[in-house]
Structure 1
Amino acid sequence: MARVLSLLLIGITSVALADDKSFSLNTRTRTETAPGSGRYHTVAKPATWDAAKTAVVICDMWDKHWCDGATGRVGEMAPRMNDLIVAARKRGALVIHCPSDTMAFYKDTPQRKLAMDAPKSEPKVPLERWCKLDPAKEIKLPIDDSDGGCGEVNKNYRAWTRQHEALKIEAGDAITDSEEAYHLMRQRGIENVVVMGVHTNMCVLGRPFAIRQLTKQGLNVVLVRDMTDTMYNPAKAPFVAHCTGTDLVVEHIEKHWCPTVTSVDFLGGKEFRFKEDKRPTLVIVSAEDEYKTETTLPPFALAQLGMDYRVSFVFADAKDKYHLPGIEQLNTADAVLFSVRRKPLMKADLDVVRKYVASGKPIIAIRTASHGFAPRKGESLPAGVEAWETFDKDILGCEYKNHYANALKMTIERAPADGTHSVLADWPTTAVESTCSLYRSNPLAADAIVLLTGKSGDNPVEPIAWVREKAAGRGRVFYASLGNVDDFKQEWFAKLLKNGIAWAAGK
């Protein structure tokens, strides 16, 4: 029941405020699937904060940045950010504007004097002008920003003179760029801090009024993840889209520092996205215990999908085999990739899967997804756990009947009637081999278009990859009965899977 309630709370997309003096937040963090695994569950939890004990910090939202792209993105998000500030202020939160290096512009304002007059308090950890990466708390950042992080050819100089004019400063607000923010918070009895602004890989982490240092002081801190940006140049590692670079740093913060929320929690509506961000959201569900796709799919996604998709992962729960932590991400997904093996689920989890499938959105599946939600032979399911034994026939359009001998290599060829399907763009002109055992998948649905066939030993030819167009009760489908560790090392398989995702997603 608690898990059902959690999923319902997380699925709410309208603004959720407990009353006019508090904030109801849908926080998101990352917890390691198992110690040392390097893989993380995406965990959403509801939280209620007293507005009177909450400060909203606006970090370095300058009028102009030396990088043209950074200036443009600040200008784009400033109106939505101001709406959030207005809503938070109305409920009683303390608003602290922190446009670093511009205090001279505000020297005679009552908001500046308010911050300066706060009595000094003794911090738990000494406050610094800048807090560098903390190896005891975090690993290195997931992006290379050694060139300054600008995607344009701009000269680095101090271009800012004040905060962006779209962010209105009102009576009762404070202005500072130093540890004065912390002292003011102590004076006002602040326990919770909402951080937004720029840039996640720099000031949002390092400033004395930002994430690293306030977290170390024992304050409850959240980052508004759709009200921020990153200094990242896609020409640098990991060679992904600019907005993917921001997502990676946000994930880093969720793993090592604090939860995040979105502006939706304060304003309702949809989360903010930059005009340049056209990426569809792809959720990859990796929950199988044979082919190690939990280790092969993440690097594939970063290398092959980082320019074109907003990717998130759902992994199996090491403690509860019938639960998929974070499966509610399907509620906002544009496409899903299933790599699941014999995984009956708690009803609430399987209901999320069924709801996604029924929405008519794209479905990509590999290898064991043909029996992804079927129980093992003779398995007795606990109360509240359900299977989807006919997922192969209902959705993928096949009938999985086990496989031929593991010792036999599979030879894969283009199907005679495939034509020039986009999924097979750049497919090798000669046959290729896979160490995967050959799945027995026939017969296929009448609407399945076979792209590749496979043969092992003297066994009959079987379909290996096929597509289905959108139909009632489901969206486009791409399936390939491939995907072991060796396959992921092959360029032909990477292209096949990337093309299959693109076709299903309509890109």
Structure 2
Amino acid sequence: MRKSIFSLGKSCCFIILNLLLSSSFACAQSGQKWVSYEPAQGPGNGKHIVLISGDEEYRSEEALPMLAKILSNHHGFKTTVLFAIDPKTGEINPDYQGNIPGLESLQSADLMVIFTRFRELPDEQMKYIDAYIKSGKPIVGMRTATHAFSYDENKNSPYAKYSFDSKSKGWEDGFGRQVLGETWIDHHGHHAHEGTRALIDGIMQRKGHPILNGVKDIWVPTDVYGTRELTGDPEVLVWGQPTHGMTAESAVNWEKSVMPIAWTKEYTSESGKTARVFTTTMGASVDLKSEDLRRLMVNACYWALEMEDQIPEKSKVDIVGKYTPTMFGFGEHKKGMRPADFVVQQ
């Protein structure tokens, strides 16, 4: 009995200590406009990944903290997640297109993961993205990153060339086309009516491409984006086929052609430095309920960082804590959320 009481006391102390540490960590970040996750032991120790959210439709503000926790807790990367913040309230508001605090963290980043849509950021923020792209460091783009920026007001900005519809020489169609491989074209699938069945590229699979390790079954409720011929000599890893319906059991729509939905390429900046780039047009918060899509994203981060030799046969991608993603749609983001709400890791 005495031993049982002692064990119970130890357990209670451990629980209380964890709660105090989590509470202290939350208090430390409560005034911040972004969130950081310290790494557990893992291959990623010593590497810093900055994940930039900011889209009105696909809930990147929910998707990226979840992905960041996986990268930190299971793989040892330090991660920082940035958000679109309403400066008047300090709340996360993806409809506010002109403010993503914390972009200076890109100065210490080894990898940038970007999931923004039609942002027009002030020059004093955008300069950090511009400097990062010129650095030759790797980039991972998700879903609306193909049309990450849109310059309608400050067309004389030195960064207006990043706009998805840019006409600047050498920067036609902006960041999406020039860096990631494609800009916004259209919804190839019937938006909000057709999902996407992912078709793993058999040639890349037989070649043993490390990003495809353990990736076999992906279905997501977002539709297939249309593309043209991708730029930059890409390798398509996954093709997308629209499905008749919004469930994983929905039959594929064979009347529509396949489109590339995940690819790799290289980008050489004006500084002459070359970066590894991975892009997927999947990635909404509800998409990431797919275990193998999470695995694809984690593997892509390893590959982008030239750590492909350390990608496991089946990367651990268990969700850390609770994850109840909001269905995509305009005006559907959770109101009143602050970065501190995403702090607790366990």
TM-score over 0.5 for the alignment? yes
Give 1:364's aligned residue.
Answer: 140
Aligned residue in 2 for 1:465: 262
Percent of aligned pairs with the same amino acid: 24
**Superimposed CA distance per residue, residues 405-450 of structure 1 (whole angstroms, 9 cap, x where no aligned partner):** 211222210124312111000111xx64221111112211242111
Query: Among 335, 347, 358, which residue is 2:111 paired with?
Result: 335
Matched, 1:279 2:46: yes
2:234 counterpart letter in structure 1: A
- Work out which of the residue numbers 297, 311, 319 in structure 2 matches 1:497: 297
What is the match of residue 241 of structure 2?
455
1:454 & 1:373 partners in 2: Cα distance?
A: 24
Partners in 1 of 2:57 and 2:86 — Cα distance?
A: 15
**Against the structure 1 CA distance between its residues 345 and 293, is the aligned structure 2 distance closer, same or farther, given a 3 Å change threshold?**
same
Amino acid at match of 1:146: F
Q: CA deviation at 1:474?
A: 4.3
Tell me if the contact between 2:44 and 2:77 (Cα under 8 Å) persists in the aligned partners.
no
> Of residues 412, 417, 420 in structure 1, which corresponds to 2:198?
412
* Cα separation, 2, equivalents of 1:442 and 1:295: 30
* Partner residue of 2:215 out of 393, 416, 427: 427
Q: Distance in 1 between matches of 2:57 and 2:257?
A: 25
CA contact (8 A) 1:280 1:334 kept: yes
Asked if residue 290 in structure 1 is aligned to residue 57 in structure 2, the reply is: yes
In structure 2, how many angstroms separate the alpha carbons of the residues matched to 1:454 and 1:316?
A: 29
Q: What is the alpha-carbon distance in structure 2 between the residues aligned to residue 278 and residue 492 of structure 1?
A: 23
2:14 aligned to 127, 146, 151, which one? 146
Mapped partners of 2:147, 2:223: distance in 1: 15
The answer (yes or no) to whether the contact 2:86–2:99 under 8 Å persists in 1 is no
Alignment pair present for 1:315 and 2:83: yes
**Counterpart amino acid of 1:322?**
G
* Contact 2:180 2:279 (8 Å CA) reproduced: yes
1:427 partner letter: V
Structure 2 length-normalised TM = 0.64
Post-superposition offset of 1:385: 8.7
Alignment deviations for residues 211-231 of structure 1 (CA, whole Å, 9 cap, x no partner) = xxxxxxxxxxxxxxxxxxx8x
Farther-moved stretch of structure 1 (403-412 vs 381-390): 381-390
**Aligned equivalents of 1:481, 1:469: Cα separation in 2:** 17
Return the letter of the residue paired with 1:292: R
Q: Is the 8 A contact 1:412 1:455 kept in 2?
A: yes
Q: Higher strand proportion, which one?
A: 1
Match of 1:486 among 286, 306, 310: 286
Matches within 5 A, 1:48-197: 146=14
Deviation at 1:468? 1.6
**Which one has more relative contact order, counting CA pairs under 8 Å at least 6 apart?**
2
Cα shift at 1:251 = 4.5
Structure 2 CA distance for aligned equivalents of residues 411 and 392 of structure 1: 23
The alpha carbon displacement at 1:470 in A equals: 5.9
Check conservation: 2:215, 2:293, Cα contact below 8 A.
no
Does residue 1:401 correspond to 2:168, yes or no?
no
CA offsets 1:223-245 (integer angstroms, 9 cap, x no match): xxxxxxx8xxxxxxxxxxxxxxx
Number of the residue aligned with 2:28: 254
1:349 pairs with 2:108:
no
Find the aligned partners of 1:285 and 1:442 in 2 and give their Cα distance: 26
What TM-score do the two structures reach when normalised by structure 1? 0.45
Instruction: Report what 1:126 is aligned to.
Output: none
* CA distance 1:438–1:393, change in 2 (3 Å): same
Secondary structure at the residue paired with 1:417? helix
Q: Say if 2:276 is the partner of 1:476.
A: yes
Whole-Å Cα distance in 2 between the matches of residues 252 and 409 of structure 1?
37
3-state secondary structure, aligned to 1:286: strand
* Partner Cα distance (2:184, 2:118) in 1: 12
Gaps of 5+ in 2: 1-11, 33-40, 88-95, 164-173, 243-252, 308-346
The answer to whether the 8 Å contact 2:232/2:267 transfers is no
Structure 1 residues 341, 399: CA separation in 2 closer, same or farther (over 3 Å shift)? closer
d(CA) in 2 for partners of 1:470, 1:250? 42
The equivalent position to 1:436 in structure 2, one of 216, 219, 222, is: 222
| Cα shift at 1:459 | 2.4
